[in-house]
Amino acid sequence: EVQLVESGGGLVQPGGSLRLSCAASGFSFSDHYMDWVRQTPGKGLEWIGRIRKKTNSYTTEYAASVKGRFTVSRDDSRNSLYLQMNSLKTEDTAMYYCTPHRGDYWGQGTLVTVS
Amino acid sequence: DIQMTQSPSSLSASVGDRVTITCRASQGISNYLAWFQQKPGKAPKSLIYDASSLQSGVPSKFSGSGSGTDFTLTISSLQPEDVATYYCQQYTTYPITFGQGTRLEI
């Protein structure tokens, strides 16, 4: 069974930092590009970043709204994905999800509140 | 950025109805389109990828079609459990973008 479990969310002040984690199981994590997607309360979905796999040198892509503030990383030995969020703004308040490329699987999300 | 526009934004239908949701891309995306279902308080769930491929375990009453800029999601026989918001997503070009969602009610 595929599982994605996000963690690390919470309440943080504007300008602060937070690191989210995503633990993956049940599929070949190291063979997948991995994304972070967020959803603001009552609003739609926003893709925020991607990390490619080892054979693509773990290169990353970011949405303009988070570029320079957020960093996506991964540890294939731990089947884990991370999102380092710095210089947080109130508009970063959202539920954060990790998902493999194309969104085949989703976790339950972790809520980040910047206030 | 590629804009994804869904129509309608909301839809009310009856049990047993055939329902169609449209997604239009602001430029051609070949068939790099996915559809997701999100029920209240839950994470999104993948229904369709590559415009028309049914995700494993998804009932065959869901189907997708289209290529280029115009795409559709069809639910062949609406049931109460299909009440949800449906999103399309293009994954051909960065940034990856989603439609604004279509809220489906019964």
Cα(B4)–Cα(A45) distance, integer angstroms = 12
A78–B contact, CB cutoff 8 A: no
Pairing of strands B70-75, B62-67: antiparallel
Tokens of A99: 């998902």
pLDDT level of residue A43 (50, 70, 90 thresholds): confident
Residue of A nearest to B48 (CA): A104
Q: Which of B46, B94, B101 sits opposite A61 (nearest CB)?
A: B94
In sign, the C-alpha dihedral spanning B47, B50, B56, B62 is positive
Cα(A21)–Cα(B93) distance, integer angstroms = 26
Cα(B58)–Cα(B56) distance, integer angstroms = 6
* Per-residue pLDDT tens digits for A45-88: 999 999 999 999 999 999 999 999 999 999 999 999 999 999 99
Peptide bond into B95 cis (omega under 30): yes
Pairing of strands A110-114, A94-100: antiparallel
Cα(B93)–Cα(A62) distance, integer angstroms = 12
Share of chain B above pLDDT 90, in %: 99
| Residue A76, phi then psi, degrees to nearest 5 | -65, -25
Collect all residues from B whose CB is shorter than 8 A from any CB in A.
34, 36, 43-46, 49, 55, 87, 89, 91, 94-101
* Per-residue pLDDT tens digits for A6-34: 999 999 999 999 999 999 999 999 999 99
